[in-house]
Amino acid sequence: MPGQPAVDDEVFHFSTEVRVRLPETDAMGVVFHGNYFTYLEVGRVDYLLNLGLTEGNRPIRDFDNVVVAAHLDFRSPARLHDVLRIDVRVREIRRSSLTFAFRIRDRRTNRLVAKGYTVHCAIDDRFQPMAVPAPFRQVIEGFEGSAPGV
């Protein structure tokens, strides 16, 4: 995405892991590409849990959000039983959107498997964009060490 820093240049302060399971692989024995987006969601929710920003079944307690963009570059295959480390950070928070950056690596070899990002829009009860609340921004800034993006 133009204007976005390369994920390779980013500093990640959080990671979580997932082990590749049989139903996540395809006929060639590698992870089916669509399953990587589930791994991103696991990473995002674990990141938010780590920061105490979740509540019940709501990934973010202070506001609802929808995914408006998702991008992933595949670098090398992951296979059954590989343990994948999912690095996560909030790259940018704008008025009503936030961008999560991800890097997926093989835990054993540190080989880059995939990298990318998702963009989420904060929405109100009418599914209209709303401002990302200040308390959420403050928690992210405190964890990441600076205000992400604009």
CATH 3.10.129.10 fits 7-144, yes or no: yes
Average pLDDT rounded to a whole number, residues 67-76: 98
Average pLDDT rounded to a whole number, residues 103-110: 97
Sequence spans of domains, the chain: 7-144
Average pLDDT rounded to a whole number, residues 108-135: 97
DSSP string, the chain: -TTPPPGGG----EEEEEE--GGGB-TTSBB-TTHHHHHHHHHHHHHHHHTT--BTTBSSSS-EEEEEEEEEEE-S--BTTPEEEEEEEEEEE-SSEEEEEEEEEETTT--EEEEEEEEEEEE-TTS-B-PPPHHHHHHHHHHHSS----
Percent of the chain with pLDDT over 70: 92
Average pLDDT rounded to a whole number, residues 88-116: 97
Tens-place pLDDT, residues 22-65: 999 999 999 999 999 999 999 999 999 999 999 988 889 999 99
**C-alpha dist (Å) from residue 77 to 43, 103, 109:** 19, 14, 13
Q: Would you place residue 123 in the very low, low, confident or very high pLDDT band (cuts 50, 70, 90)?
A: very high
pLDDT at 146: 76
